[in-house]
Amino acid sequence: MTSPYSARSRAIEPFHVMALLARANQLQADGHDVIHLEIGEPDFSTAEPVIKAGQAALAEGHTRYTAARGLPALREAISSFYAQRYRLSIDPERILITPGGSGALLLATALLVDPGKHWLLADPGYPCNRHFLRLVEGAAQLVPVGPDVRYQLTPELVDRHWDRDSVGALVASPANPTGTLLSRDELGGLSRALKAHGGHLVVDEIYHGLTYGSDAASVLEVDDDAFVLNSFSKYFGMTGWRLGWLVAPQPAVGELEKLAQNLYISAPSMAQHAALACFEPATLAILEERRGEFGLRRDFLLPALRELGFGIAVEPEGAFYLYADISAFGGDAFAFCQHFLETEHVAFTPGLDFGRYQAGHHVRFAYTQSLPRLQEAVERIARGLKTWRP
């Protein structure tokens, strides 16, 4: 029987972790204590100054559409943030406020990818990136990457995999699921490689601010023509507010604004007013304290998992994930995740959600729980390894 739905819809894969999450929620509803290490969402609630700003915005009646590019005051605040954090002068006119980082990705793919064309993406990587490309009738050319290149694209890999249908590359720094960074020099090398091929460089900087030991460089420090995706969800802790931004080269802004007008009209107005409080010193102090807490969690969980036998060849420098090789234990990653969920009530994500390259023997842990909960999780995992049968 022919499907009544589009080929593009059928081609977009579901998150495998959602089946595990549904089961985890069922176990929790049945009274079991489930430790959630599967979802990439900070466990901290939105900072109080931002909540108060959102409440004030509602009370003041800021419930109508904004301009498609977003509140001028918020675009100016983001521009000032780039000046303070990166010493960059970014014209607010180049910044578009979007419904989450996903809205920024939607604009970028719609602008830059024609049907049949593709971007180079690291495999493993965030799965929605390739799905957005399919949505605009483009494609992802997945480039297998491993610990030898810290799970990142390199100029050499761009040159090797570039073909007649390539129009750009999307990289992430820090990356999901591996937490690795691209240095300023590495970003510069990628920029030169892409320009040599006449392609676009798009950089996901959504986890900027969540780095440990060093700050992440922005691609805008080395390439003013790059497209930058960012979000208020991770460092700023506004996941449910659905707010992000896109920095684009000036010549692209008019086309992007037209797309925004047609695709979503504007980002949520209440969230935009609330986000103005993100850049206040009191809020930034809260966020930096939380960054320190994530660093402590990483510094506990990384050696603890290695000691149990998980292979984590590259120390993550950012985000809040550990991408671990389970080859030492044998078996399939999905079954491995199911075992620990059912027997020890610890939920984490199979590598299948992040690509194809060696995905069957990798899992991702999100250290988005408190240190005592992570300690409990490690104890349960140690116990569960004794009963695991591949």
Q: How far apart are CA 308 and CA 322, in angstroms?
A: 14
Distance set, CA 53 to CA 46, 159, 188 (Å): 11, 48, 38
Cα separation, 120 vs 118, in Å, equals 7
Tens-digit pLDDT string for the chain (390 aa): 678 999 999 988 887 778 888 899 999 999 999 999 998 888 999 999 999 999 999 999 999 999 999 999 999 999 999 999 999 999 999 999 999 999 999 999 999 999 999 999 999 999 999 999 999 999 999 999 999 999 999 999 999 999 999 999 999 999 999 999 999 999 999 999 999 999 999 999 999 999 998 899 999 999 999 999 999 999 999 999 999 999 999 999 999 999 999 999 999 999 999 999 999 999 999 999 999 999 999 999 999 999 999 999 999 999 999 999 999 999 999 999 999 999 999 999 999 999 999 999 999 999 999 999 999 999 999 999 999 999
DSSP 40-56: -S-SSPPPHHHHHHHHH
Task: Look at residue 1 in the predicted model and tell me its pLDDT.
Answer: 64
Helix (H, G, I), strand (E, B) or coil at 348: coil
In angstroms, the first-to-last Cα distance of the chain is 37
Alpha helix (H) ranges present in the chain?
7-11, 16-29, 48-59, 72-86, 100-112, 127-135, 155-161, 184-196, 253-263, 269-275, 281-308, 333-344, 371-385
Nearest Cα to 232, choosing from 283, 189, 178, 275?
275
Q: 140-145 long-range CB contacts below 8 Å, 24 or more apart?
A: 141/166, 142/355, 142/356, 142/357, 144/356, 144/357, 144/358, 145/357
Give residues with Cβ within 8 angstroms of 253, minimum separation 6.
69, 93, 94, 96
Contact indicator for 257, 69 with CB cutoff of 8 Å: yes
User: How many CA atoms does the CB half-sphere of 175 hold within 13 Å?
Assistant: 30
Residue the block writes with tokens 């049968």: 389
Note every long-range contact of 287-295, with CB atoms under 8 Å and residues 24 or more positions apart, other chains counting: 287/47, 287/209, 287/235, 287/236, 287/237, 290/42, 290/44, 290/237, 291/209, 291/210, 291/211, 291/212, 291/235, 293/371, 294/210, 294/212, 294/320, 294/367, 295/212, 295/213
DSSP 225: T
247 contacts 208 by C-beta, under 8 angstroms: no
DSSP state of 5: S
Which value, to the nearest 10 degrees, does the dihedral of the CA atoms of residues 245, 251, 254, 256 take?
A: -40
Residue with token string 């929790």:
28
Can you give the pLDDT at residue 15? Answer: 78
State the pTM of this model.
0.96
Q: How many residues does the chain have?
A: 390
Q: Token digits for 176?
A: 């999901």
User: How far is the C-alpha of 295 from the C-alpha of 284, rounded, in Å?
Assistant: 16
DSSP 272-330: HHHHGGGGSHHHHHHHHHHHHHHHHHHHHHHHHHHHHT-B--S---BTTEEEEE-GGG-
Strand partners, 245: 97, 230
DSSP-based three-state secondary structure for 85:
helix
